[in-house]
Amino acid sequence: MNRRELLAALIGLPGLLPGCYRRSTPSLPEGAIVGASAGIGHRLRDGFRPVPPPDAWQNRTVVIVGAGVAGLVAAWRLARAGLNDFELIELEPVAGGTARSGTSKVVGYPWGAHYIPAPTKENRLLVTILDELGVFEGTDEAGQPVVKEQYLCREPEERVFYLGQWHEGLFVHAGATPEDESQWRRFQAEIDRFVGWRDARGRRAFAIPVAHCSDDADITQLDRITMADWLDQNGFTSRRLRWLVNYACRDDYGMTIEQTSAWAGLFYFAARVPKPGASSQPFITWAEGNGWVVNRLFRKFRDRSKLGFAVSDIVPREDGADVIAVDSEGRQAIGRRARFVIFAAPHFLTRYLIRSYRDDPPRHLQEFEYGSWFVANLHLRERPYGRGFPLCWDNVIYDSPSLGYVCATHQALLDYGPTVLTYYYPICEDNPTRGREKLLAWDWSTCAELCLSDMERAHPNIRDLTQRLDVMRWGHAMIQPRPGFIWGRSRQDAQQAFGPIHFAHTDLSGVPLFEEAAYHGIRAAEEILKRHGMNTRSLLSD
C-alpha cells in the first residue's frame, strides 16, 4: 500500500481501490507538532541528574511538582488557608497540563480537556472554586448553584455522522430496528437503577469524586470484568448501543469496551446523573475549554511559579525534601529545600524522580497504565460543508477511531466565517507502551493526514478550508481504568504520603476527570496544612 492507502486503513476507510482516492497524495496545510516537552523528560528517565550550584538553592515551605489542574488547585487551597510560601515547578512553558489551551486571531481553543459537568451543591470544593472564578450567578430554591448562561454549553450540543449524513445526538435513531430501540431503553433503565442505588451508609454506587462512591461488594465486583463482559451478560447485543458505549469508553479513558473496567464504563453514564430519570448534569464550557479555568488559577500564582523547569530529583530528608529541577535545555539546575512536597504530576513519574522510589520502586507503580492521544487543531477560513443536522459543539463520526471534533467558535457565539476545530484521536492499543511508541513514531504529516482523511468522510472540502493544522502528542494523556485497578490496592496505596511527599493527580482516582484532579489537589494541600499546624475547615464534601 502507498502512504495514503496505509493511512486510510488506519482510520478504517472502506475500499482501497484505485478510484476511491486521488492518485497523487494531496497537499497538506501549514502546521507543526507543538507542546509536550518529551526530550528532557526522556533524558531524566535515562538517568540525567544535574547538580545545582550552591547559589541556586532556596528554601520553601511547600514545593508543588506540576502545574496541571491538581497542582494549581493545591496552590489555590494553600493560599486560601494563608500558607503562601510555596512554589509551582512545571516542565512546560505554560501551565494547565492536559487542560491547557491555545489562542488565535479568531478564538481560543483547547489542547485537551474541554468541559466540566455542572457540580451540585454536594461537591463543595468544586462549587467553591468555580464560584470564586465567577461561574455562578447564585443558587436556586433548592440551594443548587446556578451557572451563568454564557458558561453553559450552547445548543445544539452534539451530533453524529452516520451513512453520509449528520444526526442529532449520539444514539442514531435513524434506521434503528425495534430491537435497537428496545435495548437502548433497557440500557437507560439499567443506568437509572444504578443512579438510584444506595448502600447501607447512603452512598451512591457511582459518584464524583470517586472517593464518595460505595465500596459495597455488589458494586465493586463490576471492576473485575470488562464493559464488554457486562454488556454480554445483560444481553446488550445492539451494534448501535455497543458503538455508543464503546465511544464513551474511548472518550473518557482512551480504551475500548474490551479493555475498560465495567465499573468505569458504568461510572461514565451514572455518576453525573442526579436522580433516576433525570438527564446528566449540563456541561460548563468555554471556547478554550478548561484552559479558561487553569489560566485564571495560574494568574494568581504566576509570581510563585517556575515554568519550563523539569524536576529531576526529589530527595526526602529528616526535616523535609530537597527538590532539584533543570530547564528544558538541560543547562540550568536549581534546588529547593522544602518542608513539604506535593507531587502533582502523573504517578508513574515517581519511579524516576523520587530517589527512594528509584532505588526500591513500590509494587503499586506497575499497575498505573496510561493511554496515548494526539490532538489536532484545524484553523479554517470558513465552516466545512456537511449534510444533515447543523454544526454542533461536539461532532462525532460513527465508526471512526477518532472521537471527532469540538468547534471552538460555537461557544463563542461565532456562527459564520473562520473557526477552529479541535480533533481528538486516542490510541486504543491493548499494550499501552506499544501504543505510545506508535504515537511517537508518527510525524506531523502522518497525524495531519490521518486527521484530514478521517474528517473528509463528513466534510469533503475540509482539506481546502484548512489553513493551518497543529498537532500535540500526549504520550501519557490519561490513566486507564482497566479491570481491577479502581478497587485494587495499588490505587489506594499510591495516595499515601511518603514522608514529606504528598501525592495529588487525577490518576489516583483511576478516572481522568477535572473533578478528580481538583479533589486530590485539595486533599494533598489539606494534609499538609494539618501537618503544618494550620487546621482549617475541609472543603472535601462528606
Assess if residue 160 is contained within a domain: no
Question: What local confidence, expressed as pLDDT, does residue 45 receive?
Answer: 73
Assess if residue 35 is contained within a domain: no
CATH of the domain at 182: 1.10.405.10
Same domain, 396 and 350: no
Closest by Cα among 506, 530, 531, 528 to 519: 506
Same domain, 115 and 147: yes
What band does 25 get if pLDDT is binned at 50, 70 and 90?
low
Per-residue model confidence as pLDDT tens digits over 294-311: 999 999 999 999 999 999
Assess if residue 485 is contained within a domain: no
Which among 264, 281, 298 is the end of a domain?
Answer: 281
Helix 3-10 with 444-455: angle, nearest 10 deg: 60
Beta bridge partners of 407: 421
Same domain, 274 and 309: no
CATH of the domain at 142: 3.50.50.60
Assess if residue 385 is contained within a domain: yes
Domain residue limits at 414 = 3-30+370-479
Per-residue model confidence as pLDDT tens digits over 466-498: 999 999 999 998 999 999 999 999 999 999 999
* Least confidently predicted of 394-403, 513-522, 530-539: 530-539
* Least confidently predicted of 14-18, 298-302, 323-327, 462-466: 14-18
Same domain, 448 and 402: yes
pLDDT reading at 196 higher than 90:
yes
**Mean per-residue pLDDT of the chain:** 93
Question: What is d(CA 389, CA 112) in angstroms, rounded to the nearest whole number?
Answer: 25
Q: How far is CA 69 from CA 88, 465, 472, 519, in A?
A: 12, 34, 18, 10
Per-residue model confidence as pLDDT tens digits over 71-80: 999 999 999 9
Query: Is 410 in contact with 391 (CB distance < 8 Å)?
Result: yes
pLDDT reading at 443 higher than 80:
yes
Question: What is d(CA 440, CA 433) in angstroms, rounded to the nearest whole number?
Answer: 11
The vertex-273 CA angle with 272 and 279, nearest 5°, equals: 120
Question: What local confidence, expressed as pLDDT, does residue 44 receive?
Answer: 73
pLDDT reading at 186 higher than 50:
yes
Assess if residue 187 is contained within a domain: yes
Same domain, 272 and 289: no
Assess if residue 169 is contained within a domain: no
CATH of the domain at 413: 3.90.660
- At residue 339, φ and ψ (nearest 5 deg) are -75, -40
Same domain, 359 and 375: no
Question: What is d(CA 452, CA 457) in angstroms, rounded to the nearest whole number?
Answer: 9
Same domain, 244 and 195: yes
Per-residue model confidence as pLDDT tens digits over 66-109: 999 999 999 999 999 999 999 999 999 999 999 999 999 999 99
Same domain, 263 and 308: no
Closest by Cα among 345, 303, 300, 339 to 320: 339
Residues 6+ apart with CB under 8 A from 530: none
Same domain, 206 and 257: yes
Closest by Cα among 120, 127, 117, 45 to 351: 45
Assess if residue 198 is contained within a domain: yes
Same domain, 354 and 502: yes
Helix 124-132 with 514-531: angle, nearest 10 deg: 100
b/e map 375-399, b = 16+ CB within 10 Å: bbbbbbeebbebebbebbbbbbbbe
Query: Is 382 in contact with 391 (CB distance < 8 Å)?
Result: no
Structural domain count of the chain: 3
Same domain, 295 and 275: no
Same domain, 361 and 498: yes
Question: What local confidence, expressed as pLDDT, does residue 46 receive?
Answer: 74
Which among 262, 281, 300 is the end of a domain?
Answer: 281
Which among 479, 503, 523 is the end of a domain?
Answer: 479
Assess if residue 17 is contained within a domain: yes
Closest by Cα among 275, 279, 281, 282 to 194: 275
Query: Is 304 in contact with 86 (CB distance < 8 Å)?
Result: yes
Residues 6+ apart with CB under 8 A from 201: 214
